[in-house]
Structure formats: C-alpha cells, structure tokens
Amino acid sequence: MNDHLRGQTDLVGGSGRSISPVTEVDYLGMLNRYFLRRWYLYPIFVVAAVAAMYFYLQTKQDEYAVTARIAILEADDNGASDDLLRRSTELFSASQNVYNEIERITSYELMHSVVEDLGLQYGYWTKTGLKKKDGYRDFPVLIDSFKAIGTQPVDLSFRLEPEDYASFRLYKEDTLVGTYPFDTLFANKFGVFRIALNGALPDGGETPLYVSISDLRTVASAYLDRLKAEFTGINSTTILLRIDDAIPARGIDVLTQLMNNYNEGKLAEADAAALQTLSFIDDRLLKANRQLQLVETNLEQYKLSNDIADQSTSNLNLALENADLYGREKEDITLKLSALRSLENALAVSEDDPQLITIDNFVLPTGQLPEQLELYNRLVLERKELLITGQPNNPAVVSISQRIASLRRAIEGSVTNLRQNLDERQSLAQSQYNRARGQLRSMPSKQRQVQDRSREQQIIENLYVYLLQKKEETALAYVNNVTTAKIIDPAHVSPDPVSPNKKLFYFFALVCGGAIPFFYSVGREEIFNYKVESVRDVEQLFPRREIVGRISQLRGKNRMPVADASRNLVSDQFRSLRNNLLFRFPASSNSFLVTSAGKGEGKTFVAINLALSFARARKRAVVVDFDFYHPQVAEYLDQANGPGLSNFLQGEAGIDDIIHSTGDELCVDYVPSGDHSENPGDLISNEEGLATLFAHLRERYDVIILDMPPIGILADAVLLNGFVTGSLYVVRVGVSTKASLKRERRTIDSNRLKSPMLVINSTKSAKQDYYH
C-alpha cells in the first residue's frame, strides 16, 4: 500500500508543507467571455442609452445660475470703541453675526414674502413636442388675481386656448371648464379668477397655453430649497447668494426682492427700536424735570427759613470741594489698586493657559502698562486663532507662547512699580481727606444741609442734560437709519446654463450603455451560467492540470460508439485519449481509475469506451465496477450482473468466478459490482483482498479500468491510489457545475488522486474540426 504515496510530492516542499499554486489571471479569457463573446450587445446598448438620454434631455429645461453678493454692516457703537474686551472679540462676533443673518436671509417667512410679492405661486408654460418651456412676465397671459373656494391648499393646472383677443377656453386636463373673457373677473367651481392679456398671442391663436396655481407655502419651500447662502471667506462678513432657475429674469427678481425685503425688515426693526427708546427717554425726562423742580423749591425754602445767604457759604463750599476732591482721589487710587490686584490674579491664573485680561483702560493710569496689556491680549488672540487649526507644539504656537510669557513678566514688573507708587499716593490722599473732613466738622450744620441739597440739585440737573443729549442722538439715528446689508454685486445671471450638465449626462449614458451588456455577460458567465459550458471553463478551473481527452457530444442513444464498425468522431477521440495514456504511461500493464464530481457526468461511459478502444489496439482490457451504490458497467455492456467484486471481497467467490467476458464482438472483460452488501463502503477497506485482486488482474490484462463512485460524493477513489497508475477525472460540459469542480479542485491539487488527468465529456465540436 506504500505505492500510493508515489507521485504525491509534486507540490510538496522539502519541509513537507504544501505549496499553493500561483493562480494566473487569464486576461484574454476574461476579454473573450465578457466582451468579445457578446460584442454586438455593446454598440446596441450604447446607441440605445445615448438615444434615450437625448430624448430625456429634450424634456429638461436649461437652468442658469443667478448670484448676488451682500455685505452685512456692523453697527458703530462709539461708546464702546475703547473697550478692550469688545475689540478682542470683534473677530468672533462678526462671524457669529453673519451666521445669524444667513439664517434670516434663508428663513421661510422672508421667502414667503418674496413669492407673494412676485406672484410666483402662478406658473406659466408651453409645450413643443417633448420640450416644456416655462414662462414669466413675458408670457402672453398672466393670472391677475385668484381667490380659492375654501381654505384647503391649492394645486391647480389648466390648459388655456385663446379664441381671439377677447376670450379663451379653459380646460382642466381634457375637460372643458368654460369659455371666459380676458381682463374680467369670472368664477367657477375652482375659485374666482381674472386672467389678463400680456401682449401678442401665439401665431394662429390656437396654440395651447398652460397655467398653474400652487399653494404659497409649497412654492416658498421649493424656492427656499434651491436658495444657497454661504460665506465668501472665513473672516468675511460678505454673503454669496445663489439660486438656479430656468428663467434668468425670474431668478434675478427673486434675489433682488429677497435682498430688498431683508433690508426693509431690518429697517423696520431698527425704527421700532428707536421709537421705543425715544418713548422711554421722554418718560425719564418728565420724571427728572419733576424731581429737579422739587429739589430747587426745597433748597429755596430752606435758605429763606434759616436766613442763609449765598456769600456765607463760600468757605463751606471750599471745604466741601476739598473733601470731595480728596475723597474722589482716594477712591480712584483704591479702584486702581483693586484693578492691579485683579490684574495680578489674572496673570497668575493664565500662566499655563493664557487668557484675555479685561481691565478697563480708564481704571489704569496712563503710561506703559495699558499698551503692554493691549499687546498681551492681541498676542493671546493670535495664539487662539493658531490653535484653531494647529497643535500646541506647532512652532508658530510655541513662538507666540514664549512672547506672551516674556510680556507677562514685563507686565508683572510694571504692576509692582505702579502699586508702590499708588500706595504712597493713597497715604497722602487719605491724610488730605482727613484734614478736609476736620474742617467740615467745624462748620455750621445748616450750611452743610444747604450743600447737600445743592449737590442733589446738581445730580438731577446732570441727569436731565444727559437724557436730553441721548434723545437728540436717538432722533438723529431714527432719521438717518440706513440698510444693514450693502449690495456689493447685484443679482446677475451666468452666461451659460449650469444644469443639466449634458456632457455628464451623455457620459453617464455611455457608461450605462457599456455597463449593461458587461454585467449581463458577467451574470451569464459567473452567476446564471453555473455549469461548465466549454473547454475554456475547465482550463480556467484547472489551469495546472493536463487535459488528456476531449469527447464530443454523442448524438443518438448509442452508448458505445467505439464498438461501431464504422469510423466516427467519438471513437477517434477515444483513440486519441488511449494514445495519450500509452504515451504517458508506457508500462506493459496499467490501471486507471475513472471518477467525476457527481452523477451523470459520464464516468462509466468513458470507462467502457476507453476499455473498448484499448481492446481495438490488441490490448487485453478489463473494466472493474467499484461503484457499489450505482453499478452500471454490466448494464452498459448489456450483460448480466452476476457474482462480482463485492462477492470476492466478502470471500463468497473466487477470482475466476467474478471475471466475465463480453464475447468476441467486444473483446472486453468486466468485473461487475456483485451482489449488494449492507455496508458496501467497508468492502474497499479490504486491503488484502484488493491486493490479491490487482495482482491477478495485472498478470492477466494489459489495461485495468476502474469505474469509481463520484469523488464529490464518496472518497473511495482516494483509497485505491496504491493500486492505480493514473486517475481520470471526467468533466461533462453542460452538466458539471463550476461550484462542484471548485470543491474537488482542492482534492486534486492536494494529490489525493494518483496522477490526476482531465477528460472533458460532451464537448461541442464543429464538423470542420474533424478530419476524415
């Protein structure tokens, strides 16, 4: 039994591991299967796809891009112009403001007002063949007014056929609604209309015109979906507006009206805010006037009742002024010291992560420190902008962080020097304030009362003057209100259509026209054509295996064409198969097993006719039926299935008892499968019986043909490797499946069969391929 190991090291390396064969891609085969085999489909489908695309594009209208640019203007607030925090956040607030304005421009309410102002809920068009052409203000007729019956959304379309310049017929689909006059109100079941003439009617007067009435909300939503609003730059406050429309004039009107309505809305909001502010100031002026009159009356009555003259209060006024001056100076120094402490705390907190320092410049004294703080905040902002697109270890970020750290140390030194100076000034101011307060204590209390009332009078007078100033400023702003969006580029249309992109559509048609036959070929060859259809399929599945025989499709019911006295194509092909085997295996005695992937692939047909071919060559041939489950050898030879192989392996019959002759006509002996056994699969494991059988057969015959069960069902053929010279694997065109062959390819490539060779059965051969 060790002989079966011979020939199994073809694909085994020195380490004993199997080496997978390299699969070569058959590009010529792919070209033939997917393109050349059905080449005529490609021009047919390409032409059909391009023609279909041409007719489709005839139904589409060219659309043009209408664009405009507007700049969002920022309000000028002089009162906050010196606010460092405001200046430091202008970069971000401007972009945020533009985001908000984009939301306003693309709002549904604004677009609804545009559609209503332009009357875009009314549609107009004509038809010429497949082509539909929209109309606008230059359409021969226009819907002047319409009022629907009921409150349901309206979606109506009519065909209008002018009779003359005075009247027209109105159709709903193909049903006549009525005949009505132009420029006159008329009513029907759909609502109340007035359709006006808008110039000359089409030639002939019978050309149908189409009009539609849609719901305002639906039309506004549709236009809003087509409107695009976006930044022109990351730090820009300019907005680019775009809308695509089949009628350039309509697109220009939409964008122009959109910008006008936007500006009008913003102006209305500003006017309302100004009027509200004026009303508030007037109310506060009235209250301040009443308080001022009351304080002046009280002061005058107090002086008269206490006999206090203005000249006697000069010393008191001087003392009060000194106390007030030194007190304000002391509070100012205290405020500055507090600001310095806040500044020191901010510098300490932001040492690792620099943040903006929001210290009012009015609190700090003039000098180097405010400039240092302004430079510090500017560097912090630049660092944050760099961190938006970079990492902390970015060289630019590291450089600016070093500059911030250096500037922080300089600021800390300035703060220390300034705090020492302010401490000294605070001590001096406190001393002067105490002296002034001492002088006040020595003055009469009545004069202090007069001064208190005078101070209250002055405060109310200052408030009254401030309110008058603000009232004038608000009134001027109300009169001079301007638009908050400046139109940089008015709405204009592109010179060429932007949709449909005909080149892209035709390219898509070409791709589809080529893809359909390609995928059809792939489906036919790889999915639906799951059976072997040609010799090329077998060559692709077994690129490294030899095809030793090709048997043409047998016509008629003759299952043994080799036995015919007349010469035929199939017998010559078996002769070629026989000669190939004799050339490859020149030994005097050979044994070949014949198997296949499944039933019906012709293994018994090949085994019988191959044995007959060897017999025609004066070779002693015997066919042994090893297919215990479906024995067919005796039936093919039209012989009785007497005692056979199973009887011999079970010890029920001798060698001579199981060998039967077919007579002088066929000159082939055979060994039938014998009587059925309960466990036929165990019979082939009788190594001693098999060795005796093959030893006797080799002495008696030149060629032994073994008809084995399909290897895809049973692995019996593998167990006989030690007794055979080679293995014939039969593949039948139109019957064998590619999936089964792929499964069995692993068995063949792993050399589980002895010297495997391929025989292709039922090939399709043309008559001219055969030479007589």
Tokens of 395: 């060289």
Are 475 and 551 in a shared domain? Answer: no
Are 171 and 293 in a shared domain? Answer: no
Are 197 and 182 in contact by the 8 Å Cβ rule? The answer is yes
Are 761 and 665 in a shared domain? Answer: yes
85-99, 185-199, 226-240 — which is least confidently predicted? Answer: 85-99
Whether residue 634 lies inside any domain: the answer is yes
Whether residue 489 lies inside any domain: the answer is no
Question: Where is the domain boundary, 162, 181, 214?
Answer: 214
Task: Determine the average pLDDT of the residues in 285-301.
Answer: 82
Tokens of 56: 């489709």
- pLDDT at 6 > cutoff 70: no
Task: Determine the average pLDDT of the residues in 144-165.
Answer: 88
CA distance 374 to 361: 9
Task: Determine the average pLDDT of the residues in 561-565.
Answer: 82
Non-local (6+) Cβ contacts of 626 within 8 A are 593, 645, 673, 684, 706, 707, 708, 709, 716, 720
- Total residue count of the chain as it appears in this document: 772
- pLDDT at 177 > cutoff 80: yes
Report how far apart, in Å, the C-alpha atoms of 144 and of each of 113, 164, 197 are.
18, 19, 9
Are 193 and 298 in a shared domain? Answer: no
Are 206 and 137 in a shared domain? Answer: yes
Strand order across the 621-625 sheet: 547-552, 756-763, 726-732, 590-596, 703-707, 621-625, 669-671, 660-661
Pairing of strands 660-661, 228-231: unpaired
Instruction: Characterise 323 by phi-psi region: left (phi > 0), alpha (psi -120 to 50), beta (else).
Output: alpha
Share of the chain above pLDDT 90, in %: 26
For 418-442, the pLDDT digits (tens) are 888 888 888 888 888 787 777 666 5
Is residue 761 helix, strand or coil? strand
- pLDDT at 16 > cutoff 70: no
The more confidently predicted of residues 38 and 595 is: 595
Quote the mean pLDDT of the chain: 80
Q: What pLDDT band is residue 767 in, cutting at 50, 70 and 90?
A: very low
Tokens of 626: 């090893």
Are 374 and 360 in contact by the 8 Å Cβ rule? The answer is no
Q: What pLDDT band is residue 316 in, cutting at 50, 70 and 90?
A: low
Whether a cis peptide bond, with omega within 30° of 0, leads into 500 is yes
CA distance 327 to 146: 77
pLDDT value for 313? 54
Are 542 and 435 in a shared domain? Answer: no
- pLDDT at 48 > cutoff 90: yes
The more confidently predicted of residues 52 and 99 is: 52
CB neighbours of residue 435 within 10 Å: 13
Whether residue 49 lies inside any domain: the answer is no
- pLDDT at 32 > cutoff 90: no
128-137, 239-248, 333-342, 590-599 — which is least confidently predicted? Answer: 333-342
Question: Where is the domain boundary, 453, 479, 505?
Answer: 479
Task: Determine the average pLDDT of the residues in 295-309.
Answer: 73
Whether residue 279 lies inside any domain: the answer is no
Are 585 and 452 in a shared domain? Answer: no
Whether residue 281 lies inside any domain: the answer is no
CA distance 347 to 407: 11
Task: Determine the average pLDDT of the residues in 596-621.
Answer: 90
The more confidently predicted of residues 730 and 597 is: 730
The more confidently predicted of residues 439 and 355 is: 355
Whether residue 358 lies inside any domain: the answer is yes
pTM for the complete prediction? Answer: 0.53
pLDDT value for 560? 87
Are 754 and 724 in contact by the 8 Å Cβ rule? The answer is yes
CA distance 735 to 388: 68
DSSP code for 11: T
CA distance 509 to 74: 51
Are 540 and 26 in contact by the 8 Å Cβ rule? The answer is yes
CA distance 489 to 242: 12
155-169, 683-697, 732-746 — which is least confidently predicted? Answer: 732-746
Are 326 and 179 in a shared domain? Answer: no
Is residue 192 helix, strand or coil? strand
Are 207 and 313 in a shared domain? Answer: no
Task: Determine the average pLDDT of the residues in 50-65.
Answer: 88
Question: Where is the domain boundary, 167, 194, 214?
Answer: 214
Angle, helices 314-349 vs 395-441, to 10°: value is 160
pLDDT value for 478? 65
pLDDT value for 357? 74
Are 475 and 539 in a shared domain? Answer: no
CATH number of the domain to which 647 belongs: 3.40.50.300
Containing H/E element for 135? strand 131-135
Is residue 476 helix, strand or coil? helix
Are 704 and 591 in contact by the 8 Å Cβ rule? The answer is yes
What is the domain extent for residue 441? Answer: 289-479
Beta bridge partners of 625: 707
Tokens of 464: 């009254």
Are 438 and 314 in contact by the 8 Å Cβ rule? The answer is no
pLDDT value for 19? 41
The more confidently predicted of residues 702 and 559 is: 702
Are 472 and 568 in a shared domain? Answer: no
Task: Determine the average pLDDT of the residues in 708-715.
Answer: 78
Q: Pick from 59-63, 213-217, 409-413, 536-540 the range whose average pLDDT is largest.
A: 213-217
- pLDDT at 703 > cutoff 90: yes
CA distance 110 to 118: 13
Task: Determine the average pLDDT of the residues in 633-646.
Answer: 86
68-82, 100-114, 575-589, 626-640 — which is least confidently predicted? Answer: 68-82
pLDDT value for 594? 94
Are 575 and 719 in a shared domain? Answer: yes
DSSP letters of 217-264? HHHHHHHHHH-EEEESSTT--EEEEEEEESSHHHHHHHHHHHHHHHHH
- pLDDT at 198 > cutoff 90: no
Q: How many domains is the chain partitioned into structurally?
A: 3
- pLDDT at 367 > cutoff 80: no
- pLDDT at 750 > cutoff 80: no
For 462-503, the pLDDT digits (tens) are 888 888 888 787 777 666 655 567 888 899 998 989 888 888
Share of the chain above pLDDT 70, in %: 84
Task: Determine the average pLDDT of the residues in 175-183.
Answer: 92
Q: What pLDDT band is residue 164 in, cutting at 50, 70 and 90?
A: confident
Whether residue 514 lies inside any domain: the answer is no
Chain centroid to CA 172: 43
What 313-322 contacts at long range (C-beta under 8 Å, 24+ apart), as own/partner pairs, is 313/447, 313/450, 313/451, 315/443, 316/440, 316/443, 316/444, 316/447, 316/448, 316/450, 316/451, 317/451, 319/436, 319/439, 319/440, 319/443, 320/440, 320/448, 320/451, 322/432, 322/436, 322/439
CA distance 55 to 130: 8
Torsion on CA atoms 75, 80, 85, 87, rounded to nearest 10? 50
Whether residue 53 lies inside any domain: the answer is no
